């Protein structure tokens, strides 16, 4: 009886740990796919405005071989252009 109880307890603990790791990995994947702020893929540049209040913000887009410009973006991910042309983007501190 005592051995069975110990084995059952150990298996339950292992299942709990494994389940927690799977849940943490699943929760981390979407955030890693679309991080907040400026990010690039191998071909495109994006700005992800992470908000829960629905606000629209002004970002400054830095262009490699052209004039930088400001753009109003809403919640979620906005495509900025080719990663070869866009060097970065950042929040300028005001809404639009």
Parse the chain into domains and list their residue ranges: 1-33, 35-96
| 25-61 pLDDT per residue, tens | 444 444 456 799 999 999 999 999 999 999 999 999 9
8 Å CB contact between 59 and 91: yes
The percentage of residues in the chain with a pLDDT greater than 70, rounded to a whole number, is 66
**Cβ atoms within 10 Å of 85's Cβ, excluding its own:** 14
Neighbouring-strand partners of residue 34: none
How many residues can be counted in the chain? Answer: 96
For the question of whether the overall pTM of this predicted structure is more than 0.85, the answer is no
């Amino acid at each position: 009886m005592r051995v069975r109880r110990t084995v059952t307890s150990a298996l339950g603990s292992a299942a709990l740990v494994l389940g927690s790791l799977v849940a943490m990995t699943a929760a981390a994947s979407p955030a890693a796919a679309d991080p907040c702020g400026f990010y690039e893929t191998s071909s495109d540049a994006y700005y992800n405005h992470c908000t829960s209040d629905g606000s629209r913000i002004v970002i400054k887009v830095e262009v490699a071989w052209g004039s930088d410009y400001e753009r109003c973006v809403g919640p979620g991910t906005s495509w900025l252009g080719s990663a070869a042309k866009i060097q970065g983007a950042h929040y300028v501190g005001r809404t639009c």
